[in-house]
Amino acid sequence: MAQRIEVARAGRITVPETASVQLAVPADKHYIVLVRSAVAQLGACFGFTMGDIGDLRLAVDEACNLLVAGGPDPAVSGLECRAVVRGDLLRVTLSASAVAAAPPDTEGFGWTILAALVDALAWEQSENVVRVEIEKRRGTRGG
């Protein structure tokens, strides 16, 4: 079920075809809600359905938890999020310092749930950074 709100004023609001949001927060579970909410709001602004937004919220929450879980000192490093919308594709790149993040357990339950919620999922680790990339297309409920 898609939700649509229109303003009955003189002009119609036009949304650009592309937009991005960048957010950096401490690598602590208490800040994940900010990342999750920012991505959900971006999806809502670009016409993603409530189902799509629900999937995105859960996926971002799970990916952040995978990156932040078990870090030795969360105050030392940060969690970064870059969300980009182009047309009907929303790509979210989450990264954390390898000091606080271990590579995600791709055989675990959390990764399985994450993969079921999105259309594309990948991770990589460079010297000291672990990244998880999520892609969700508008209208593809449940990946």
Residue 25 belongs to a domain? yes
Full domain range(s) for residue 47: 18-137
Q: What is the pLDDT of residue 100?
A: 57
Q: What is the pLDDT of residue 68?
A: 83
Q: What is the pLDDT of residue 132?
A: 93
C-alpha distances in angstroms, 137 versus 18, 53, 61, 106, 143?
14, 11, 18, 22, 8
Residue 99 belongs to a domain? yes
Residue 128 belongs to a domain? yes
Series of mean pLDDT values for 10-residue runs along the chain (143 residues): 46 66 89 94 91 95 85 64 94 83 78 93 87 89 56
Q: What is the pLDDT of residue 77?
A: 72
Q: What is the pLDDT of residue 71?
A: 55
Residue 9 belongs to a domain? no
- 29, two tokens: 């579970």
- Residue 96: name the closest of 75, 111, 77 by CA: 77
Q: What is the pLDDT of residue 135?
A: 96
Residue 32 belongs to a domain? yes
Residue 72 belongs to a domain? yes
Report if pTM > 0.75: yes
Q: What is the pLDDT of residue 7?
A: 46
Q: What is the pLDDT of residue 8?
A: 46
Residue 75 belongs to a domain? yes
Dihedral, 83, 18, 44, 40 alpha carbons, nearest 10: 0
Q: What is the pLDDT of residue 10?
A: 47
| Number of domains observed in the structure of the chain | 1
What CATH number did the domain enclosing 95 receive?
A: 3.30.565.10
Residue 13 belongs to a domain? no
